[in-house]
Structure 1
Amino acid sequence: ALDPKFVPKVEAGTSQPAEAPRARPLTKEDFQIVFGVERFRCPEILFSPNWIGVDQVGLDEMAGVSMRRLSCKDERLEERMTNSILVTGGSSLFPGIIERLEAGIRM
């Protein structure tokens, strides 16, 4: 849609403002986004940040190392700690992310 308050800029050397773009009716294609491999690569970057040049471990490895550093002798406490991990945010909605994180922590 066009901005009703927009005033076209007058080009230097002309007395007429530039012609405003013509409005066209919106179609179904205007509301579609086509994804390629990006839809798989974006979540994968959480587990393999080196794909984008970040020299750090992935989320699963980071969480697993943190859990192992607790060096807890009580298995029940370790299980409670593992079961109390809270995953939030938009990335938590990626299909299979919880299972992938759990698998990485148990490695």
Structure 2
Amino acid sequence: MSKIKLLLDVAEGMHSLADSIQAVCDAMLDGELLNGNEESTTLEETEPKKKEKPTNRKIKLEEVRAVLAEKSQAGMTAKVREIIQKYGAERLSEIEPKYYGDILKNAEELKNE
């Protein structure tokens, strides 16, 4: 493998990592914004809310990458890789956006064994 090809692979990997870190940071910020200030939580706030009807919003690559990165960090890297390969790809960026919702569903079903 040529040195240029190796450098391109490293650069792509670094870009992917940066996207994942950004998505995790965004998710953490969204959580802080949703929680507002750090007041004590009442019982009413902890009760499960009724699920809203799913919307047909467009799921972004960064969202999927953040969820898969979280699962991977939880020790499920092999299972995350299986999900990506299930859609005929070696990397998440190679998967068509129309499958992002399905990938998120698959990721939610993952449990660390």
TM-score by length of 1: 0.30
Whichever of the two has the greater Rg, that structure is 1
Structure with greater helix share of residues: 2
Structure number with greater CO (CA < 8 Å, separation at least 6) is 2
